[in-house]
Amino acid sequence: DIQMTQSPSFLSASVGDRVTLSCKASQNINKYLAWYQQKLGEAPKLLIYNAKSLQTGIPSRFSGSGSGTYFTLTISSLQPEDVATYFCLQHNSWWTFGGGTKLELK
């Protein structure tokens, strides 16, 4: 089974900061990595698919990069509404999720 490791587990940042979250796969997953945002009490929302493609309607301050085993999600200028938990999903071999990064405002 493919394991997905996200880091950090918790991140505190200020409005306007550039924030980078990472997700590491235990084996090559090519480009089949998605990022989701989940706010408290809400359904998860797809942000990025195929590692770097922005889902329709998602603000351009969100971007993804990486391939193979290492991937990142970057928020170029953190906004208050970005407070949420972010998790990654690999779908190269069935489905495995990362443990999540909880992002809070400093």
Nearer to other proteins, 65 or 96 (CB): 96
Nearest to 35 by CA among 62, 68, 1: 62
Name the site residues for other proteins (rule: CB under 8 A): 32, 34, 36, 41-46, 49, 55, 87, 89, 91-100
CB atoms within 10 A of CB 57: 8
Range 16-35 burial, b when 16+ CB lie within 10 A, else e:
eeebebbbbbeeebeebbbb
- C-beta closer to other proteins: residue 51 or 78: 51
Q: Decide whether 27 or 77 has the Cβ nearer to other proteins.
A: 27
